[in-house]
Amino acid sequence: MVADTQPQSPPQFETVDELLAFVEEMDAGELSRWIDSTDRAILRLLMDRVVAIINNKGGVLKTSIATNLAGQLAAAGTRVLLLDLDRQGNCAQDLGYGTDARDDKGLGIVQAVLGSTALLPIRNVRPNLDVVPGGKHLDNLRALLTAQRSQSRHAAADALVIPLAHIARDYEVILLDCPPGEPIVQEVAVGVARWLLVPVRSDASSRAGMSEVAERVETVREVNPDVELLGVLLTGTSQSATRIHERVYARVREDLGPDAYIFKSRIRYAEAAASDSRERGELAHELEKVVSTQPAWYEAMRSGQPVERLAGSASSLAGDYAALAQEFVQTLLEAESEGAADDEGASAGEDDSANDSVNEGAEAIDQDDSGDHRKQDSTSGGGESATVDGRASGEGQGVVA
Ligand SMILES: Nc1ncnc2c1ncn2[C@@H]1O[C@H](COP(=O)(O)OP(=O)(O)O)[C@@H](O)[C@H]1O
Ligand SMILES: [Mg+2]
């Protein structure tokens, strides 16, 4: 008799994987109610694969990396969301959706932040790749957050947490393309990101831009203490300029500490291929295919017809992005397992406010502890394909408890 009337004990989450599995089980209505009743600190744990591509300097290839990395990962079978947070909306050019009526130029982002509602991505911009467009309407986001900041110091850092929490479970990786010189919008990105990928060129201004990112991290630290540098990526360089590379690496370590990870991959200077790519709305690896089928220059000449020639360097550039995608996956998985190891032994089952918040909104739901909730279409995390499969076991992580 007594047993029938006792409330069922809410699920306990000792690891992020358990929390993700719990969220995976809910239908849209349950998810929405749970989000409404759950602390942002818990919702941020759902954002464990959000990577902001950020440098306060323009022209360091943030957007090119965001779109090409997203495209490479998606082509390898990883479910990817790309969020364009730049008023320039250049992701639309790289991916060729600028003429799509669904390109709302950032209006959807502003509405989602204003109403604390779900972001609505353009689905299947490529197979496995959805995109939330940016553009001119993001000026209103800046204005909105500047106004909100007078009431809440962390308005910007918190802005995307709820809109993204609604859809985060649909993706294995979420990439944020960040604007240069928009501190408040950068704060939105760093406030919701788990990882930062910082592209740098060899010039002094991109070094300064990197240090300004560190300031953003300090600003959001209080509400997003887990945000970390995934790595620094050298761009727009000659692959053989070893002395220049070494000099940049030394400066990065000076600025960010000796442990800062520097990607072994580099994105070479290939202006013509990059320009063709943006012009045609095709990523480097897509352009590479077109280039490989175009007639040789002498055949084109012989035909007497003007033939549009595309830069042959598309192939090398595509190779750089493919190498980056593989290293990105490997680095992410390693960083996750290091994080799990660091947290090993952290308290499991202790009563703290975060755990209370999880449990408050939780209905008694059977736990799926298979741990494969992110896998969906992807097959292998290692070897040749850039897919994100498998993660730190998280055993004993104690991330929530
Ligand atoms: N590998 C490359 N080599 C040379 N120029 C490039 C390369 N990739 C992109 N670009 C060009 O550099 C400019 C800035 O690139 P973009 O990715 O928009 O940088 P950001 O987003 O940091 O401002 C664009 O005109 C783009 O076409
Ligand atoms: Mg850009």
DSSP bridge pairs for 81? 130, 174
Please tell me the predicted confidence (pLDDT) of residue 106: 98
Ligand in closest contact with the CA of 266 = 1
Decide if 396 contacts 348 (C-beta within 8 A).
yes
pLDDT tens per residue across span 108-135: 999 999 999 999 999 999 999 999 999 9
* Ligand 1: lining residues by beta carbon, under 6 Å: 58-64, 90, 236, 267-271, 274-275, 278, 317
Please tell me the predicted confidence (pLDDT) of residue 357: 38
Please tell me the predicted confidence (pLDDT) of residue 114: 95
Decide if 162 contacts 37 (C-beta within 8 A).
no
In ligand 1, which atom is closest to the CA atom of 235?
Answer: 1
**Annotated domain spans of the chain:** 47-272
Please tell me the predicted confidence (pLDDT) of residue 344: 66
Decide if 172 contacts 376 (C-beta within 8 A).
yes
Ligand in closest contact with the CA of 275 = 1
Measured CA to CA, the distance from residue 9 to residue 16 in angstroms comes to 19
Please tell me the predicted confidence (pLDDT) of residue 115: 95
Q: Please report the beta strands in 260-377, taking only residues with DSSP state E, as ranges in sequence order.
A: 262-268
Helix 204-220 × helix 183-192 angle, to 10°: 60
pTM of the predicted model as reported, rounded to 2 decimal places: 0.85
Q: Which fold has domain 47-272?
A: Rossmann fold (3.40.50)
Mean pLDDT by 10 residues, the chain (401 residues): 48 81 92 93 94 96 98 97 98 96 97 96 98 97 93 95 96 98 96 97 87 92 96 89 88 88 95 94 92 68 66 88 97 90 57 41 34 37 54 39 37
pLDDT tens per residue across span 42-62: 999 999 999 999 999 999 999
Please tell me the predicted confidence (pLDDT) of residue 364: 29
